[in-house]
Amino acid sequence: MGLLESISPRAIVASILLLTCLVHDVCARPSPEPRSAWVRKGPGRKKMADHIKRAVEGKRPRSTEPSCVETLATNIAAPKTNIWGELSHVEAAAVVQWLFAQPELNLTVTDKATAWDNTILLVESMRPNKTDALPYLDGNATAPTKYAHVVLDHRATESPYYADILVGPLPVDSTTTKWEPLTFPYTKKSGGKVRNLDADDVALYREWLLVIGASVADITRDLWNGTAMGLANDTLEIWGIDPLWQDNGRIIRWDTFWNLPTDNFGAETLLPLGLYFMSDVTGRDPSKWKLEGWLYNNIFYETTEEFRAAYWSPGFVKNGANVEGDWARTDQQGAVPPLDTAYPPTQITPAGTRFSVDMQQKYVEWMDFTFYIGFTRDTGMALFDIRYKGERLIYELGLQEALAHYAGNDPMQSGTAYLDTFYGFGPYAFELVPGYDCPAYATYLNTSFYVAETTHTHISSICLFEFAADFPMQRHSTSKYVSVTKNTHFTVRSVSTVGNYDYMFSYTFFMDGSIAVEVRASGYIQSAYFAHNEDYGFQIHDFLSGSMHDHVLNYKVDFDILGTANSVQLMTNVPVSKRYPWSKGRNRSTMALKRSFVESEADGRFNWDGNAVTQVLVVNEDEKNKYGEYRGYRVLPYTGTAHLTVKHSSNLANAAHWAEYDIQVTRQKDTEPRSAHPYNSQDVNDPPINFAKFFDGESLRKEDLVMWLNLGMHHVPHTGDLPNTVMTTAHSGIQFMPSNYFSMDQSRQTVNMVRIDYGNGTTSNVATFGQKQGNCSLDFEPVEPDLYGYTGDVVIRKFPFDPNDPYYETDSIA
Ligand SMILES: *[C@@H]1O[C@H](CO)[C@@H](O)[C@H](O)[C@H]1NC(C)=O
Ligand SMILES: *[C@@H]1O[C@H](CO)[C@@H](O)[C@H](O)[C@H]1NC(C)=O
Ligand SMILES: *[C@@H]1O[C@H](CO)[C@@H](O)[C@H](O)[C@H]1NC(C)=O
Ligand SMILES: *[C@@H]1O[C@H](CO)[C@@H](O)[C@H](O)[C@H]1NC(C)=O
Ligand SMILES: *[C@@H]1O[C@H](CO)[C@@H](O)[C@H](O)[C@H]1NC(C)=O
Ligand SMILES: *[C@@H]1O[C@H](CO)[C@@H](O)[C@H](O)[C@H]1NC(C)=O
Ligand SMILES: *[C@@H]1O[C@H](CO)[C@@H](O)[C@H](O)[C@H]1NC(C)=O
Ligand SMILES: *[C@@H]1O[C@H](CO)[C@@H](O)[C@H](O)[C@H]1NC(C)=O
Ligand SMILES: *[C@@H]1O[C@H](CO)[C@@H](O)[C@H](O)[C@H]1NC(C)=O
Ligand SMILES: [Cu+2]
């Protein structure tokens, strides 16, 4: 019968894995003990397969059955070097040493630098041009020459600026290595320089915000029993808008007071206090900065004296304070739901890891998919050269930028439009928690980023795992048989906590050849003081507004469908009234398909339509199937997506034109590798990358195309966002699915399906297609991995290079 094996239904039952709970109190009986008693000396971050192997090896035999284990994690060698990979410690150290030896850069070691010294902000691998990458990937060309991308913080000047430079070729060689301004990836031609509005951050706090805080200490003590004046016993903090107002040559900020949490929870963004002040902080001399006024309870006061006089006069209306409490804490609280303390369902991988990884090169093979993982400071994880059955589908898939645009009656919320790559997704891609962020059996990879002459390594910050969906890939029933296919998928995941918010990024691959891109959000919302904000959010606590905001996350998808000559076809179901030869002269009201191509960049920016009725297809017009249909991939929303509601944002000006539409298509260019620059917020009117300038009317037919897709969510936090936003609904996703790309569904190739023939009350045949059958024993140890193995970042000093003295240090924004 070949592959199609038939066995009796009883064997199916018999082959159900024999699960053995080794730790009975966890499996069977909820423990009333304190939390610390739950922590076990587990097997560390070893894979489940190792436990099984150990059991099978006889150290802890549970039964005489053969093992379920088919394979253990396979280490493979990537077919090519990962040209999007990170610099090695040695390479980074050599670049740093070389930079300090260039007198014209006039660099100071970060530890010793003041606000008036030049420092190195970033040293990382420069991604190669696609023009140079393809001949290497697809032909015999040598790997593209390696360069370092370096960002310098030039502060030894009246007009401080960030400078993007290229250093190379690598490895560093005193005669051939040079530096040059990095200019080609930016639309603004300014020698790779962007002004730095943050150069005097220390002076801003010490000599400005805290001084102003002290000047109203009588009021803050009276209102909130606290101060923000730089004392050890301050219970308030001051911070404000981002980006700063940047009009008419002035740099204006609005700041507000926040209560500091008294415990370890990061609840500060839930504790706004409703007093705001405006400052003109143009230039580098704090003595020339000006306080421009105060706002309280929607009344504006030009000066501190005016505000104080009003405050202490009779009838002044004082509002209450947001104060931390259990409502802002994420620990368990409230009545435990029925049976909740019993150990919950969990997935296992009885046959071990069914995929292969080159850990060094960050190259992955799962079923018929292969890809490389890249990682940068700005945008974190990205995938490259994604192939299915050996054929490239996508050259590059990765986050570009994430916007959180708030609004409000008050200047703090109205002025907030975070462009998160300023902070970076790489530095905040923290260690994942096995068993919680990803299955405990997942394979974990490290990522590294450069900061202040050190390389920080986030241990286990990318996870790779297979998972069985809770729904089948396929099924069908008749009166004679039922056929069902399992839906096993593969996910690559990282989480970045940028300040108050946690973004979970997942790329998921499916057996039918489809790919999903998803983002989920959790963490603390940035809330608003409630007064006068009724039109901008729900009131969610005593003096708190949920503060409406749009999340928009831009992804680059560089499709290569059967080569680089691709087109975007739109196909819409349209209502029609039509007479047919058979309709006897009568018109039929019905529908039909309308097809068109996105001809050029002039019509390359558009939205999902209201009824999701238009298919967006990336096709190769020269690669038709045998029926004459174009082979391609369809792009479709997986869950909700979002583009920015605000038109011509006062906060953003030209800094985030990428946020304006759901789908944007451009011609692929080496000069347009990214839709946003991390310092776009520093010069919003004339940012280093103005995405709108990518659209210059070029033809998009049979060209190498890039799709810039927005995920996101229109977030109006409600009481369910307290204490943290939940990932069940804070979720956005897009899928890429084959559309006439193959002659049939590719998931027919899996053996993980069954056909049961039945009738007359009996089953006559069960076809399992060569699935591994038979008995095996499995020791299921339902224990979290040793979570005391969670360490945070490992740091290695680069200047002086000290690879043998790593230390632990984890930095977060909040
Ligand atoms: C070099 O930087 C120092 C501060 O670190 C500054 O005082 C000096 O003027 C700079 N030299 C030049 C030539 O720019
Ligand atoms: C990458 O492409 C840009 C734009 O064509 C070019 O200026 C740059 O020199 C290229 N880089 C390399 C390393 O060839
Ligand atoms: C690569 O080199 C091999 C052997 O020299 C040759 O047969 C093949 O045609 C080359 N491939 C390309 C794409 O140049
Ligand atoms: C004010 O704060 C101080 C110390 O921060 C605390 O001891 C005191 O109880 C507070 N008073 C009120 C009324 O909350
Ligand atoms: C906070 O510290 C300052 C200076 O040490 C002191 O004068 C003040 O009384 C302290 N405030 C409270 C509430 O403890
Ligand atoms: C991650 O980093 C840790 C600490 O440096 C190291 O022990 C471990 O081998 C690394 N893991 C991988 C997959 O590279
Ligand atoms: C009826 O059908 C004909 C041809 O199919 C079409 O041209 C015409 O517009 C239709 N009439 C109406 C009223 O829609
Ligand atoms: C059910 O019984 C009928 C009559 O005996 C027989 O013809 C038919 O093949 C049986 N079907 C199955 C699925 O066994
Ligand atoms: C499974 O094990 C049971 C008990 O050891 C045995 O009776 C049965 O034949 C086995 N089945 C298979 C398919 O190996
Ligand atoms: Cu939100």
Cα separation of 752 and 473, whole Å?
10
Tell me the pLDDT tens digit for each residue of 610-630.
Answer: 898 999 999 999 999 999 999
From the candidates 164, 200, 378, 420, give the one annotated as an active-site residue.
420
pLDDT of residue 46: 30
Alpha-carbon dihedral sign for residues 525, 529, 534, 535: negative
Q: Is pLDDT above 90 for 45?
A: no
Q: Closest ligand 3 atom, CA of 140?
A: 1
Ligand 6 center to residue 523 CA distance, Å?
Answer: 27
Arithmetic mean of pLDDT over the chain: 90
Rounded Cα distance, 191 and 179, in Å: 12
Which carries the bigger pLDDT value, residue 640 or residue 185?
A: 185
Residue nearest to atom 10 of ligand 3 (CA): 140
Query: What tokens does 390 get?
Result: 């050996």
Cβ atoms of 482 and 758 closer than 8 Å = yes
Residue 31, pLDDT > 70, answer no
Confidence band (pLDDT; 50, 70, 90) for 9? very low
Phi, psi (rounded to 5 degrees) for 202: -70, -45
Mind listing the pLDDT tens digit for each residue in 714-749?
999 999 999 999 999 999 999 999 999 999 999 999
Mean pLDDT for 535-539 is: 98
Share of the chain above pLDDT 70, in %: 89
Average pLDDT in the 474-500 region?
Answer: 96
Label residues 538-559 b or e (16+ Cβ within 10 Å = b).
bebbebbbbbbbbbbbbbbbbb
764 lines ligand 8 (CB under 6 A): yes
Measure CA of the first residue to CA of the last residue in the chain; give whole Å.
Answer: 63
Asked whether 190 lines ligand 1 (CB < 6 A), one says: no
Of 162, 363, 501, 524, the active-site residue reads 501
Q: Which residues line ligand 2 (CB under 6 A)?
A: 129, 132, 145, 184, 670-671
* pLDDT tens digits along 752-800: 999 999 988 899 999 999 887 656 666 565 545 677 777 778 888 877 7
pLDDT attached to residue 64:
52
Amino acid 17: pLDDT: 31
Burial class, 260, CB count within 10 angstroms (exposed 0-12 / middle 13-18 / buried 19+)? middle
Among residues of the chain, what percentage have pLDDT more than 90? 81
| Mean pLDDT across 199-214 | 97
**pLDDT score for 87:** 93
pLDDT digits (tens, 9 = 90+) for 303-319: 999 999 999 999 999 99
* 774 vs 323 pLDDT, higher one: 323
Q: Which of 375, 403, 396, 428 is nearest to 674 (CA)?
A: 396
Question: What's residue 54's pLDDT?
Answer: 33
Counting from 1 in the atom list of ligand 8, the atom nearest the Cα of 760 is 1
pLDDT tens digits, residue range 581-594? Answer: 999 999 999 999 99
Which is the closest atom of ligand 8 to the Cα of 480?
13
- Ligand 2 nearest-atom number relative to CA 144: 13
Residue-wise pLDDT for 680-701, tens only, equals 999 999 999 999 999 999 999 9
Check whether 68 has a pLDDT greater than 80. Answer: no
Closest residue CA from atom 2 of ligand 7: 578
* Atom 13, ligand 9: residue with shortest CA distance: 774
- 503 has a pLDDT exceeding 70: yes
Quote the pLDDT of residue 794. Answer: 84
Q: Is 501 among the residues known to form the active site?
A: yes
Q: Is 105 in the pocket of ligand 1 (CB under 6 A)?
A: no
Ligand at minimal distance from the CA of 764 is 8
- How many Cα atoms within 13 Å fall on the side-chain side of residue 43? 17
Residue 56 has pLDDT above 50, yes or no: no
Q: Which atom of ligand 2 is nearest to the CA of 184?
A: 7
Instruction: Determine whether the shortest distance from the Cβ of 7 to ligand 9 is under 6 A.
Output: no
What's the gap in Å between 18 CA and the centre of ligand 9? 12
Over residues 801-812, the pLDDT tens digits come to 788 888 888 787
Residue 724 CA to ligand 10 center (angstroms) comes to 10
b/e sequence 364-377, b meaning 16+ C-beta within 10 Å: bbbbebbbbbbbbb
**Beta carbons of 450 and 811 less than 8 angstroms apart:** no
- Distance of alpha carbon 429 from alpha carbon 64, whole angstroms: 44
Query: Coil, strand, or helix at residue 536?
Result: helix
Q: Which of 84, 129, 147 for a ligand 2 pocket mutation test, highest count of atoms within 8 Å of Cβ? A: 129
Residue type present at position 91: E
Per mean pLDDT, which range of 216-220, 340-344, 708-712 is the poorest?
Answer: 340-344
Q: What residues flank ion ligand 10 with Cβ within 5 A?
A: 715
- The answer to whether 706 and 561 have CB atoms below 8 angstroms apart is no
| pLDDT tens string 119-178 | 999 999 999 999 999 999 999 999 999 999 999 999 999 999 999 999 999 999 989 999
**Looking at residue 32, what is its pLDDT?**
33
Ligand 3 center from residue 510 Cα (angstroms): 33
Higher pLDDT, 78 or 772: 78
Distance 448 CA to ligand 6 centre (A): 11
Find out whether the beta carbon of 140 lies less than 6 Å from any atom of ligand 3: yes
For the question of residue 420 being annotated catalytic, the response is yes
Instruction: Give all domains of the chain, ordered by start, each with its CATH number.
Output: 14-183+788-808 (3.10.450.40), 377-428+499-749 (2.70.98.20)
Give the pLDDT of residue 36: 30
pLDDT at 580: 98
Q: Which ligand is nearest to the CA of 135?
A: 3
**Cα 589 to middle of ligand 7, angstroms:** 9
Tokens of 26: 């966890």
Residue 588 CB neighbour total at 10 angstroms: 11
Q: pLDDT-based confidence at 205, cuts 50/70/90?
A: very high
Cα of 377 from ligand 6 centre, angstroms: 19
